[in-house]
Structure 1
Amino acid sequence: MMLRFFLIVLLSLPAQAETVTATRTIRAHAIIADTDVALSTMAVPNGYQRLVDVVGQEARVVLYPGRPILVDDIGPPALVTRNQIVQVHFRGNGLEIVTEGRALERGAIGDLLRIMNLSSRATLFGQVQDDGTILVRQ
Structure 2
Amino acid sequence: MKHLIALLLLCTSAQADVVTPTRTLRPGTLITAADLTVKAGLQDGMFDRVSDVAGQEARIALYAGRPIPFEGIGPPAVINRNQIVPMQFDAGGLTIRTEGRALERGGIGDRVRIMNLSSRATLFGFVQPDGSIKVTQ
Look up the match of 2:110. 111
* 1:37-56 superposed matches below 5 A: 37-56=36-55
Query: Do structure 1's residue 17 and structure 2's residue 16 form an aligned pair?
Result: yes
Asked if the contact 2:14–2:42 (Cα under 8 Å) also holds between the matched residues in 1, the reply is no
Query: Do structure 1's residue 78 and structure 2's residue 77 form an aligned pair?
Result: yes
- The residue type paired with residue 75 of structure 1 is G
- The residue type paired with residue 114 of structure 1 is R
Higher strand share: 2
Identity among equivalent pairs (%): 55
- The residue type paired with residue 64 of structure 1 is Y
What CA distance in whole angstroms lies between the structure 2 residues aligned with 1:24 and 1:105?
A: 27
Aligned length: 128
The gaps in structure 1 that reach 5 residues or longer are: 1-8
Asked if the contact 2:59–2:73 (Cα under 8 Å) also holds between the matched residues in 1, the reply is yes
Q: Relative to structure 1, is the Cα distance of residues 90 and 26 closer, same or farther in structure 2, using a 3 angstrom cutoff?
A: same
Look up the match of 1:61. 60
Look up the match of 1:88. 87
Q: Secondary structure at the match of 2:106?
A: coil
What CA distance in whole angstroms lies between the structure 1 residues aligned with 2:12 and 2:136?
A: 55
**Runs in 1 of length 4+ with deviation above 4 angstroms?**
none
CA RMSD of aligned residues (A): 1.4
Asked if the contact 2:79–2:107 (Cα under 8 Å) also holds between the matched residues in 1, the reply is yes
**TM-score, normalization: structure 1?**
0.87
**TM-score, normalization: structure 2?**
0.87
- The residue type paired with residue 37 of structure 1 is L
Look up the match of 2:100. 101
Look up the match of 1:123. 122
Q: Secondary structure at the match of 2:71?
A: helix
Q: Which moved more, 1:50-59 or 1:110-119?
A: 110-119
Q: Secondary structure at the match of 1:64?
A: coil
